[in-house]
Chain A
């Protein structure tokens, strides 16, 4: 954690958060550029090629940490992670197809960034999580945003 030993100007969590913004923000741009010359299926293949170095790195880290990890519930955890990847990958193809079909990066990305509204609704129904007032406001604004973006 940042701050241990000597003080840091930028906390580590903030640094990684900003890097995330740059990574995902740029992803929207390169996706739009790529959508001018490739279909969603081929893009998914190339997308996976791009993720492979990270897969190897994470596999190495997981193997190193495997000894100290609990085994209970691992099968189910892996199942849900795998399902997350399949749904995420199909979602990627739909996102890319939206750009292939003429959607602007500056509109498609904010629309799809509203995906927490679905998560929140599903968590409400299936995980029995409760919504705070702020989330209800967010949910309402999400519908307003979709209307405005498509007006």
Chain B
């Protein structure tokens, strides 16, 4: 190869090096930012999902305890319907137990597909079915999933 050709190739190569370095450093900043954003959003998404489980469990503990307390007090003292309603109102001012009365029965919600049913006949306590609450499996209801595999999100 003669000197002239070498000079041309060298010149082209040097220009290419400069261009590649510019590309390298400009991409570097972008990739770094994308990686940080990706970690941040993925981690946030996971911790939010876990927080939902923890909050749901805390709500269940609070509401479940109130229902157990109502079952206990009602069965121990044979509360009348009026007294029962007063206790429900006192313990559940926020209405989270969603009391619903149909005929002689008043149900309280202990979660999805979970109801405790109180029966009052002529205003007097006649019984309570709390089998749904006592059989509820907390392990099946409240569990934390392992983190999903990391997905790099390209912008």
Pairing of A with B: no
